[in-house]
Amino acid sequence: MLIAAVGLAAAILILWRGSAATEAAVQDQAVIALGQRLYAENCASCHGADLEGQPDWQTPLENGRYPAPPHDETGHTWHHADPLLERIIRDGTAAVVGDGYESDMPGFGDVMSD
């Protein structure tokens, strides 16, 4: 009887953990889908639908501003810590860099939230 009870408890634990993992995976998929939608709606027009950025993104334009960098492995985005990237997205590059720096990267704090 004790062996049966332990076996039942183990089965319940495995099923419970499995359902929690499944629920977490579903939530992760929902967050990923939301991120993809937000990127497509707000970022892809400058940074590219495939994260490719604008041509010659490391060379300043005539106005001194830089083209939008890629967000894939060829760009520099991944060099920055998440909190800095969050500030740039929320407030815009010029506000984060300060000191009169000009950028075409606007802040999206009035459009998106955490």
Whether the full predicted model's pTM is greater than 0.95, yes or no, is no
At 25-59, the pLDDT tens digits run 667 899 999 999 999 999 999 999 999 999 999 99
Please report, for the chain, the start and end positions of each structural domain, with discontinuous segments joined by +.
1-42, 54-106
Structure tokens at 47: 């940074």
Residue 88 Cα distances to 18, 27, 42, 84, 109, angstroms: 38, 26, 14, 6, 10
Question: What residues have CB less than 8 Å from 87, skipping those under 6 apart?
Answer: 96
Tell me the average pLDDT of the chain.
85
